[in-house]
Structure 1
Amino acid sequence: MYAEERQQAIAGLISQRGRVSVTDLADTYEVTTETVRRDLAALDRLGLIRRVHGGAVSASAITLGETGLSEREHSNAQAKDRIAAAALAYLPARGGSIALDAGTTTSRIAPLLPTDRDLTVITNSIPVAARCASQHTLQVLGGRVRGVTQAVVGDQALGTLAGLRVDVAFVGTNGLTVDHGLSTPDLDEAAVKRGLVRCANLVVVVTDSSKIGREELVSFAAADAVDVLVTDTDLDDRARTDLEAHGIEVVTA
């Protein structure tokens, strides 16, 4: 196989899988890892892929932009509805405390919360707070509200989280890979998400499968900090195997 043919095949494989490692490519095409790295460098210069530590991801897998809440609300809406419903299985059985992160999937959990148990809801999401205020014991984290996501961020929120221990945190993410973990574009929002993960006895990540294999600017938790991932049935089998190998319980809905 000529170099150009191999590079085209590699680009197609990365587009299909979302992420591949240098060693896997070397085994697949029976070449040295040095040859693979040269191929990836060439493809990266052409803008067809993006090199990352240990391999490469598709060109669309790393983003610095951030879409608005209203736009994201309608993206993969049916999958998000199913994910939210499946996530209810991880609520404390007899009441207790939960944290609901800001996000379009986590916000779908709020109206589904049962009213026959005593739940305390901690959130940094203005939409979630509005939905839970009349039904549950509610604690809203204080701080600055980011207009693009309607999420509360800042030192006040972080200080509150540092003194909390909740039964379950339902956390959203803009990206999830084994190497980069959970990630999001904004530093301030990443800090609050990090605090939510750290204060929880059980971390349940709720996200549609389009976020799996993506890497955003800021990593806020390692993959092994996740106890459960609830996503949709379009999750790639290879990605599922990799995540489960890191101790994550993967649930598809």
Structure 2
Amino acid sequence: MFAEERQLLIAELVADNGRVTVSDLAARFGITPETVRRDLDTLEDVRQLRRVHGGAVSMSRLSMSEPSIAERQTQRQDEKSRIAAAALALVPTSRTASIILDAGTTTARLADRLMAWTPSSPGDQLLVVTNALPIAALLVGNDEIQLHILGGRVRGLTSAIVGASTTSQLEALRVDIAFIGANGIDAEFGLSTPDTVEAAVKTAMVRSARRVVALADSSKLDQETLVRFAALRDIDTLITDVPPSPKLAAALDAADVEIVIA
């Protein structure tokens, strides 16, 4: 097999599996570890992967890799819709209820469903607190919902409102449920996101809620990004689209987290 053919296969393996190890590739192709390392160096030079200790990872798995909200809106739409439908069932139906909707495309799907929210009984109130401009733009059209938009600086990549003033406002709140998104949920690292300022806001949201519900499709499971904003024990419920891996499921069970498969 020519080196170019082997490197193409290695690039495909990384794209499919997210990561590869030098030892596994050496055994698979019957080559020396030194040859594998040269192949990985070549592929890194053309931005097909990122070298890490003992192997390589997909460029999409870098700790600070973060697609824009426009890109994410077109990804895993069916899974996010199912997760949002399951989350809607958890929205409190008490006479006065309050929720937080974190910035993100899955929480935006929940906001889509809340556009049709009406009181089940006269006088029922639902307060929605959000730091997401797209979510605020959706919910402002429903006169039945009391909308509270957190103030701060708008982060262009995600259209999220962030900053010290945002977190300080959250510190003064105690809502019934916070619906939180995450870029990664890992058995050991917990819930994470690539950006430090968004992580600070997410942490404040978690602390401000009586109940925390994480909304994450299966592509986020067993993943780590740069900044941890919550431990598994800090959330009460995880809504996702497939059962977590045995390792993550065991960690969630040990942290007493309810798992809902949408």
Interval containing the TM-score (normalised by the shorter chain): 0.7 to 0.9
Runs of 4+ residues over 4 Å off in structure 1: 15-18, 46-51
Q: Deviations over 1:129-163 (max 9, x none)?
A: 11111321011000110111000001111110010
C-alpha spacing 1:174/1:88, structure 2 compared with 1 (3 Å): same
Name 2:222's counterpart in structure 1. Answer: 213
Tell me what 2:104 maps to: 103
1:59 counterpart (33, 36, 57): 57
Aligned residues: 213
Identical-pair percentage: 43
Q: TM-score, normalised by structure 1?
A: 0.76
Match of 2:248 in 1: 239
Q: Which residue of 2 aligns with 1:87?
A: 87
RMSD: 2.7
Amino acid at match of 2:147: L
Aligned partner of 1:76 in structure 2 is 76
Structure 1 stretch displaced more, 232-241 or 148-157: 232-241
Stretches of structure 1 lacking an aligned partner (at least 5 in a row): 1-11, 19-38
The offset of 1:90, in angstroms, is 1.6
User: Shift of residue 173 of structure 1?
Assistant: 0.3
Letter in 1 for 2:140: A
State the alpha-carbon separation in 2 of the partners of residues 62 and 245 from structure 1. Answer: 28
Distance (Å, rounded) in 1 between the aligned partners of 2:68 and 2:77:
15
Q: Deviations over 1:191-246 (max 9, x none)?
A: 10011000000000001011011100000111110100000026434432332222
The higher radius of gyration belongs to 2
Gaps of 5+ in 2: 1-12, 20-32, 41-48
Please list, as runs of the form range in 1=range in 2, the aligned pairs for 1:112-191 lying within 5 A after superposition: 112-113=113-114, 114-116=117-119, 117-135=124-142, 136-191=145-200
Matched ranges for 1:12-27 at <5 A: none
Residue type of the alignment partner of 1:108: R
Q: Helix, strand or coil: the match of 2:179?
A: strand
